[in-house]
């Protein structure tokens, strides 16, 4: 059912304010020092429709780093650069039920291949499959890809968040060494982590996410330019992962309560897609105990219920 934009425009301000109150129940991520000062009670949302309708409301002026949301796009770039066969030689297609930065299954399961590309171990391997002679070239290609999809050449890295993650990432470093030992990661650990931390530190706005989401909602086809920017099949792959693993260990709950492909990050961002209809970007830095924006999830659930967005 097509969304009634007149009604959405009228109701959204109130829905945002009602969800903002819930932010109190969450906590901002502090394990990356550069994220610790994010505004806890901020909440903003951008919704871009395929027919050209757009709305941006709430605290959308704040920039935030993509963090795990970047995993959607590094997977797309790796699929385009290295091909599906190579990618799935290195990562699986299943949810884990473990924490996003868990080491557990790398040791338990033979051959120690990450279960999917959205957990940290999987995303670190995926970063190594992006084409480029050096980490700097790979990172620049990733940034260019994001700029192209978001149609915004001013997007850059948040250097403070980047260096604070790089300097404190003992857990991700351990995962990477484990992956080398398991024969899964074939590139240098520090060089691969540089690419991974840089993709996580790309700073965006809600509107940037909505624009990128719109392209995914339209199966990789840009209606403005008539260009198939991303092969349709690769978009289908990432949308499937967004449904099964996009919201960490709350992906099942999110599928029931909201019912659309989405990917969250520890900065409090959420990228969501109403397939065939719209791209959505949300920011709300206070996280629930599953690592998802508490107010952001609440807002998306209200909207999905009100406007019948669930795919299921
Ligand atoms: N850079 C973060 C990390 O590796 C991303 C995690 C996330 O957003 O879930 O810990």
Q: What is the sign, positive or negative, of the torsion defined by CA atoms of 209, 210, 213, 218?
A: negative
Query: For residue 232, how far is its CA from the centre of ligand 1 (angstroms)?
Result: 27
Q: Measuring CA to CA, which residue among 236, 271, 251 is closest to residue 115? A: 251
The closest residue, in CA terms, to atom 4 on ligand 1 is 120
Our answer to whether residue 148 is catalytic in this structure is no
The closest residue, in CA terms, to atom 2 on ligand 1 is 67
Phi then psi for residue 222, to 5 deg, are: -95, 110
Ligand 1 environment, Cβ below 6 A: 67-68, 100-101, 120, 165, 172, 200, 265-266
Interval 31-43: pLDDT, tens: 999 999 999 999 9
List Cα–Cα distances, 35 to 148, 195, 256, in angstroms.
26, 19, 30
Q: Measuring CA to CA, which residue among 222, 210, 217 is closest to residue 260? A: 217
DSSP one-letter code for 151: T
Atom of ligand 1 lying closest to residue 69 CA: 8
Our answer to whether residue 177 is catalytic in this structure is no
Average pLDDT of the residues of the chain: 96
Mean pLDDT of 262-273: 98
The closest residue, in CA terms, to atom 7 on ligand 1 is 68
Interval 56-102: pLDDT, tens: 999 989 999 999 999 999 999 999 999 999 999 999 999 988 888 88
Domains of the chain: 5-66+203-307 (3.40.710.10), 67-202 (3.40.710.10)
Q: Which of 71, 90, 113, 138 is catalytic?
A: 71
Residue 101: predicted pLDDT: 85
- Assess whether pLDDT exceeds 90 at residue 226: yes
Query: For residue 264, how far is its CA from the centre of ligand 1 (angstroms)?
Result: 10
Bridge-based pairing of strands 44-49 and 278-283 is antiparallel
- Is the whole model's pTM more than 0.85, yes or no? yes
Cα–Cα dist 136/57, whole Å = 35
Q: Measuring CA to CA, which residue among 262, 268, 245 is closest to residue 300? A: 262
The closest residue, in CA terms, to atom 6 on ligand 1 is 68
Q: Which of 204, 248, 282, 297 is catalytic?
A: 248
- Assess whether pLDDT exceeds 80 at residue 280: yes
Degrees, nearest 5: CA angle 127-108-265: 40
For residue 111, say if its preceding peptide bond is cis, omega within 30 degrees of 0: yes
Interval 170-209: pLDDT, tens: 999 999 999 999 999 999 999 999 999 999 999 999 999 9
Q: What is the sign, positive or negative, of the torsion defined by CA atoms of 4, 5, 10, 12?
A: positive
Q: In what order do the strands lie in the sheet with 262-264?
A: 54-58, 44-49, 278-283, 269-274, 262-264
Cα–Cα dist 5/307, whole Å = 10
Residue 282: predicted pLDDT: 98
- Give me the DSSP letters along 262-282: EEE-TTSEEEEEETTTEEEEE
Atom of ligand 1 lying closest to residue 265 CA: 8
Interval 104-145: pLDDT, tens: 888 888 788 999 999 999 999 999 999 999 999 999 999 999
Our answer to whether residue 71 is catalytic in this structure is yes
pLDDT band at 278 (very low <50, low <70, confident <90, very high): very high
Q: Which of 38, 128, 161, 196 is catalytic?
A: 196
Cα–Cα dist 69/200, whole Å = 8
Q: In the chain, which ranges are continuous DSSP H helix?
A: 5-20, 70-82, 84-90, 104-108, 120-128, 135-150, 159-168, 170-181, 189-200, 206-217, 232-245, 251-257, 294-307
Atom of ligand 1 lying closest to residue 68 CA: 8
Cα–Cα dist 126/73, whole Å = 10
Q: In 53-158, which ranges are continuous DSSP H helix?
A: 70-82, 84-90, 104-108, 120-128, 135-150
Q: Which of 19, 38, 46, 68 is catalytic?
A: 68
Q: Is 102 exposed, middle or buried (0-12, 13-18, 19+ CB in 10 A)?
A: middle
Q: Are 117 and 87 in contact (CB under 8 A)?
A: yes
Atom of ligand 1 lying closest to residue 101 CA: 10
pLDDT band at 26 (very low <50, low <70, confident <90, very high): very high
Q: Measuring CA to CA, which residue among 100, 67, 125, 113 is closest to residue 249? A: 100
Query: For residue 147, how far is its CA from the centre of ligand 1 (angstroms)?
Result: 21
Residue 49: predicted pLDDT: 96
């Amino acid at each position: 059912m097509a969304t009634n934009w007149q009604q959405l425009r009228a109701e959204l301000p109130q829905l945002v304010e009602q969800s903002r109150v819930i932010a109190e129940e969450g906590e901002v991520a502090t394990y990356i020092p550069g994220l610790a000062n994010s505004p806890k009670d901020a909440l903003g949302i951008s919704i871009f429709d395929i027919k050209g309708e757009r709305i941006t409301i709430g605290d959308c002026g704040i920039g935030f780093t993509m963090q795990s949301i970047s995993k959607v796009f590094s997977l797309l770039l790796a699929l385009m650069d290295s091909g599906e066969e190579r990618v799935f030689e290195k990562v699986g297609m299943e949810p884990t039920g473990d924490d996003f930065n868990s080491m557990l299954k790398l040791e338990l399961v033979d051959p120690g291949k990450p279960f999917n590309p959205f957990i940290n171990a999987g995303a670190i391997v995926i970063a190594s499959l992006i084409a480029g002679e050096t980490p700097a070239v790979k990172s620049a290609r990733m940034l260019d890809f994001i700029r192209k999809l978001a149609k915004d050449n001013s997007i850059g890295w948040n250097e403070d968040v980047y260096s604070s993650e790089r300097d404190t990432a003992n857990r991700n470093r351990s995962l990477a060494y484990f992956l080398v030992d398991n024969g899964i990661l074939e590139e240098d650990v520090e060089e691969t982590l540089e690419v991974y931390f840089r993709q996580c530190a790309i700073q965006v706005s809600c509107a940037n996410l909505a624009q990128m989401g719109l392209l995914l909602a339209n199966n990789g086809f840009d209606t403005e330019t008539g260009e198939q920017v991303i092969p349709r099949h690769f978009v289908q792959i990432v949308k499937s992962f967004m449904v099964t693993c996009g919201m960490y260990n709350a992906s099942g709950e999110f599928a029931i309560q909201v019912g659309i492909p989405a990917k969250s990050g520890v900065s409090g961002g959420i990228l969501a897609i109403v397939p065939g209809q719209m791209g959505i970007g949300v920011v709300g830095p206070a996280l629930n105990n599953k690592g998802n924006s508490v107010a952001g999830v609440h807002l998306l659930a209200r909207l999905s219920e009100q406007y019948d967005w669930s795919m299921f």
